[in-house]
A and B are shown apart, each in its own frame.
Chain A
Amino acid sequence: MIASQQPLLLALVALALSFGIGTIVFSRRTSRDRASLSDSPVVDVVTATTVAVTAETDQEVVAEPQQHVPDAEQSPNLKTSIGRARSLFTMAFSGIRSRSSIDESTWEELQDTLIRADVGVHLAQALLAPLRERVREKSITTPDMLIDALRVAMKQQLSSADRSLRIDAAVSPSVWLFVGVNGVGKTTTIGKVGAAKTAQGLKVLMAAGDTFRAAAAEQLQTWAERAGAEFVRGSEGGDPASVIFDGIQSAAARGIDLVLGDTAGRLQNKSNLMDELRKVRRVADKASGSVTEVLLVIDATTGQNGLVQAREFAAATDVTGVVLTKLDGSAKGGIIFAIETELGIPVKLVGLGETARDLVPFIAAEFVDALLD
């Protein structure tokens, strides 16, 4: 189906692009020719002795690495771990609370506090708009009441979601895929989930579907050994879909309950990589298990781009939930408000530290309380 205007527009874009680029490439080349050698160096080289570049890999023997394994400590809870975040809010709010009436600067401070937590301008405004209405109606009269009302509103935003992680009893194994951009902590999260599930007595297999990043499979293997989980990997640079497929098949053959599928980090605007991920999902569905969760891993430090990430990954793989990692840092992870409310994708797990026990279920009320107490 083609809407009448679109092919024309499309053609225009293509033409304009190819034409524009051709023109620009041409002019660039011309100006480069003109500039010849007078290009100013980007970085000054002070000791300008030219050294011959050795192309081969140097042959020095270096010691084998040994991994430092952080010891498991007490499992933390959300409230204490977001304590630092809380202090920021408390400070802001104590300023507001100390005032006797609600004025424009009260609103400004509330909004700024939400923005600082990466909730985003639009959502912050949307959260405050109905409260403004209630203040106008005089159903809220003091700053204390206002803050309490905000807390209730934020909890409500997060209240209806189903945060359970499903394991299909009928079709074994259940498959959980982990997706997300680079560096959010997918592999680490799988390691932690695997450790938790094996501790619960489930038989777990980890499939190293990240065939792109150097040593990603080794990283996952270390986690699998720690957790006592089975491990399947392919060759580096191999087809991730086939690694996941093989993992599921061999899990089915060995009576394993849960397959945790790792995938390479990818930026959501790389269409070829997103296509690859679609294929992983499709192929995983064909294997003799059942894909019950596709978890998008999001770093708590992520700003407004998190919403775009969630939208694109959801479009590609039917994401069923979010894992919010690194919430033990100074970042507040407010972007999950936008992700939950605008896209309806629930946060299911929260990462609060480096050890296996630091991955805990997301409890909305606790999260909001920790932020607003």
Chain B
Amino acid sequence: MFDSLSDRLQSIVKRVRGKGRLTEADVDEVLAEIRTALLDADVNLGVVQDVVARIREQAVGADVSQALDPGQQIVKIVNAELVSMLGGETLKISYASHPPTVVLMAGLQGSGKTTSAAKLARWFKSQGRQPLLVGADLQRPAAVEQLRTLGKQIGVAVFSEPGDPVTTAARGLAEAKRLGKDVLIVDTAGRLSIDADMMQQVADISAAVKPNYTFLVVDAMTGQDAVGVAQAFHDTLAIDGVILSKLDGDARGGAALSVKHVIGKPIAFAATGERIDAFEQFHPDRMAGRILGMGDMLTLIEHAEQVFEKDEAEQTATRMLEGQFTLEDFLAQLQQLKKMGPLSGVMGMIPGMPKEMKDAQIGDDQVTVTEAIIRSMTPDERARPEMINGSRRSRIALGSGTQVADVNRLVKQFSEMQKMMKKMGAMSQGRGGKTTKKKGKGKGKDSSSSPKATMRQLSDMLGGGGLPGVPGNSGQGGFPNFPNFPN
């Protein structure tokens, strides 16, 4: 629904091109776009003003290089600024010299404290620790039940007792000591930051267990209020770090920037899925691109890695380069693609995707139709589409409930793509073939002599060689030769 920021900036900057230098007025217009993009992403207004001021400083008078697209240049400045604001020091957990290391979870109702507590416990366990979970949320019905069930799933003990949350937390600490647990994670009830009694209660819990780390759990979908909430909790509890929950949604997560900015504490972890192991260290560079709506290639890749079988994906890419990619492979790819969620979401995450393609509104229905056509083919036909003659076409159309023209189109386009893939493979092979001839010998096939080298080259083209942290690239990356595909 949102135009990507880079698209919008591009249109402005197009007019600026040739000036050589950005005037104040140009910058104003660009900054207005950036401001809107940040606000659309739910970055707090006060923080937005701050960011925009910082960017203005850098952008006024910036050279508009002929080689670099000025739009990209500005995006780069913005991106770098956001990364530095989101990042800074990462949280390093130092374990208490007298165990247990106590972690207190706090946040609004429904922000995801209980789930995050369990995920954090699992994380500590994976670090070789022995955590104990304490259910001090005696407010929400069955909150302790939930924690117990999660505890059972991850093999972590849960302590709780009815009555008073402060006493429960204190008893939990004693229990951890008795059992020799080295990490104690205290889950607390969700509370409104303006509820004085409840804020006092969590302060009392904090005083009772003297946490080494107090984490504020913040929902990635939070709007402008994130700042007020974070400030209130920080004033009461002295927050050490933030856990960003529900980051697997499609919210652009400006709250992360707001919270980081206002309490100055790192975002330590991010919950990236419903499964209990979907919990990881926070990546500021990815978040910056996401807030700006510039696509999120890395998340897409990770997402894809979960869905695609790694070896299979690698094989497929190799086969493509060799021109051996069949409709059968294509069908398999389509099915994998479907698992990644709605196509529009997937497309949105691909940076550098031509705008016409993003706008084309490819529906999931079309995947189904294409699948139906391929499924109506015999294995032979899938392997060698050129054998599909008139009568086969009518049969396939009948079988898939489509028109003969649809079948034609698919076959024709597929063969064109096949050709192109082959060409691409040959092209990059020409460049890198010499150095890697040795590797291919074992395979005994000429065309396969260097697909791996080719892939390495291509991946260099894709992501500037290194994958982690490609902030400067994320606006202009994309797949090689993409815009040159025939229509």
Bound together, the chains give a CA A180 to CA B1 distance in angstroms of: 20
* Contact (Cβ within 8 A) B40 A43: no
A-side contacts of B88, CB under 8 Å: none
- 142-168 of chain B: CB within 8 A of chain A: 142-153, 155-163
For window 303-347 of B, CB contacts with A under 8 Å fall at 304-305, 308, 310, 313-318, 320, 325, 330, 333-334, 336-339, 341-343, 345-347
* Structural contact, B93 and A302, CB atoms closer than 8 A: no
Contact (Cβ within 8 A) A11 B370: yes
The answer, yes or no, to whether A67 is at the interface (CB within 8 Å) is: yes
Contact B179 A60 (CB under 8 A): yes
Answer whether residue A290 sits at the interface, using C-beta atoms and an 8 A cutoff: no
CA distance in complex: A214, B140 (Å): 13
Given A118-B224, A303-B221, A305-B249, A14 contacting B337 (CB threshold 8 A): yes
Q: Which residues of A contact B336 (CB under 8 A)?
A: 18
Tell me whether B417 is interfacial, beta carbon within 8 Å.
yes
- Whether A8 pairs with B130 at a CB distance below 8 angstroms is no
In the bound assembly, the distance between CA atoms of A236 and B333 in angstroms comes to 33
Interface residues on B, range: 35 or more
How far does the Cβ of A347 sit from chain B's closest Cβ, in whole Å?
16
Q: A13-B343, A17-B304, A66-B163 are in contact. Are A182 and B456 (CB under 8 A)?
A: no
1/0 per residue, CB under 8 A from B, across A26-70: the answer is 111111000000000011111100111111111110111111101
Chain B 421-455: CB-based contact to A (< 8 A → 1; otherwise 0):
10000000000000000000000000000001001
B128 on the A face (CB < 8 A): yes
Q: Do A4 and B409 have beta carbons less than 8 Å apart? A: yes
In the complex where A24-B459, A46-B94, A308-B1 touch, is A11 in contact with B192 (Cβ < 8 A)?
no
Q: Which B residues touch A299, using CB under 8 A? A: 110, 219, 221
B97 at the interface (CB under 8 A from A): yes
Tell me if A301 counts as interface (CB < 8 A to partner B).
yes
Asked whether, in the complex, the Cβ of A330 is within 8 Å of the Cβ of B370, the reply is: no
Q: Evaluate contact between B255 and A22: CB separation under 8 angstroms.
A: no
The verdict on A15 contacting B487 (CB below 8 Å), with A6-B366, A9-B357, A25-B310 known, is: no
Instruction: Tell whether B222 is near chain A: CB-to-CB under 8 Å.
Output: yes
- Is A348's beta carbon under 8 Å from chain B? no
CA gap between A26 and B129 in the complex, in Å = 33
Does residue B369 face the partner (Cβ distance < 8 Å to A)?
A: yes
On chain A, the residues within 8 Å of B417 by CB distance are 11-12, 15
3 pairs of A and B residues whose beta carbons are closest in the complex: A303-B223, A22-B317, A66-B162
Besides A12-B485, A15-B417, A18-B337, 12 other A-B contacts (C-beta < 8 A): A2-B406, A4-B409, A7-B409, A13-B350, A25-B305, A44-B92, A63-B161, A68-B139, A118-B224, A121-B40, A214-B147, A303-B223
17 contacts between A and B (CB under 8 A): A7-B370, A10-B366, A11-B413, A12-B357, A15-B417, A18-B320, A21-B304, A22-B315, A24-B301, A42-B281, A47-B95, A65-B160, A121-B40, A222-B141, A301-B221, A303-B255, A330-B228
